[in-house]
Amino acid sequence: MAVCEGEGVLRLKRETMAIPMLRAAMISHSQSQPLIHSISAIYETAKRRKRVVFSSSSSELNPVIRSEVSFCVGTCLIPHPKKVNTGGEDAFFVSNYNGGVIAVADGVSGWAEEDVDPSLFPRELLANASNFVGDEEVNYDPQILIRKAHAATFSTGSATVIVAMLEKNGTLKIANVGDCGLRLIRNGHVVFSTSPQEHYFDCPFQLSSERVGQTYLDAAVCNVELIQGDTIVMGSDGLFDNVFDHEIVPTIVRYKDVAEAAKALANLASSHAMDSNFDSPYSLEARSRGFEPPLWKKILGMKLTGGKLDDITVIVGQIVSS
C-alpha cells in the first residue's frame, strides 16, 4: 500500500476494489452496558436506550415542561473478508453518559507494511476516549475528547475518527477527523451529512502516533439540533464508500429495531463491496479523480466499477418518545 506523504507516516487507508468472495457467517448479540468495541467478533450488534430531556420555553409564570425521550442505538461491524480472523481494524464505542456518546475509529491499514497491527491504535484511542467522556476538562466537547484520547494513546499507527456527543437538550456535538461519517435522517430525507477530510483521494486526514499527522485542531466540528423521530447513521468509510445516501433511508425505515437496521445497512454495504459490477460511491469518486480501469476493461469498453472491500462499521441511533 502506497505512502501518501510524510516519510511513511500518513498512509493510504483504502482496500482493493471488489472481487467475488464468500461471506462469513453472522454472529450477533445485544448489550445493555456501556460498550467499547474491540472488534473481536465477525458481526456485533448492540442496542441501548438512553434518557434524553427536551425542554419547552420557560418563564416565571409557566414552569419548564420537560418531555423525556429515549436515544436507541444499534450497532453492527463486518470485518474485511480477509481480516475476519483478526476482527478487522475498525473500532467503536457507545456510552450512555449524559445524553449519549457514540464514536467510530478506522485504523489505517498501510501500517501493516511496517509489521504494525493497524487495529491497535484505533482500539486504544477509543478506549481512552471512553475513559475521558466524563472528564471535567473535556466538558462534554468532542473535539477536546479527541485531544485527550489522542494524547493518551501510545500504540504505533494512525486512524480516522468521528465522535458525537448528545446533550440532554437535544444538541448533538460532532467532531470528525478523516472520512468516517454521519448522516441525520428526518422525515425520510437526509438533512445533514458530514464531509470527508482528505489530503487527496485515498489519503484521508488521520490522527497518528507520529509527528506528521493531524490533531484535534484539524477536526471538523459542528452542532446539530435533534428532534423526536430523527435517525442518526454513523459509520466508517466502509459504509459510505459502498452505500449511497438514497439507499440508506429505505433500508432503515424497514426496521423498527435499530440493531436490525444497523445490520441491514452493514449487510448492504458488504454486498456492494463484493460486487465488482456495482457502480459504488467509491468507484464514482475514483472516476471523477481520473482513475481508469485495467487495460483489458478499457479494450472492452468497460468503465471502472466495483465496491470497496473494507471493514464496515455502522451505528444507527433513533430519538423516540418514551
**CA 115/CA 236 separation, integer angstroms:** 23
231-272 pLDDT, tens digit each:
999 999 999 999 999 999 999 999 999 999 999 999 999 999
Segment among 17-31, 109-123, 186-200, 280-294 with least mean pLDDT = 17-31
Domain ranges of the chain: 75-227
151-201 pLDDT, tens digit each:
999 999 999 999 999 988 889 999 999 999 999 999 999 999 999 999 999
pTM for the full predicted model: 0.81
For residue 174 the three cell numbers come to 460532532
Instruction: Quote the pLDDT of residue 6.
Output: 34
Q: Identify which of 178, 8, 165 has the alpha carbon closest to the alpha carbon of residue 97.
A: 165
Q: How confident is the model at residue 72 (pLDDT cuts 50, 70, 90)?
A: confident
**CA 146/CA 120 separation, integer angstroms:** 16
Q: Measure the CA dihedral 134/35/143/119, to 10°.
A: 130
Mean pLDDT of the chain: 81
pLDDT over threshold 70, residue 66: no
- The better pLDDT of the pair 130, 226 is held by 130
pLDDT over threshold 50, residue 306: yes
Q: How confident is the model at residue 11 (pLDDT cuts 50, 70, 90)?
A: very low
Q: How confident is the model at residue 21 (pLDDT cuts 50, 70, 90)?
A: very low
With b for 16 or more beta-carbon neighbours within 10 A and e for fewer, the 222-251 pattern comes to bebebeeebbbbbbbbbbbbbbeeeebbeb
For residue 236, give Cα distances in angstroms to 63, 162, 255, 302, 322.
43, 9, 21, 29, 30
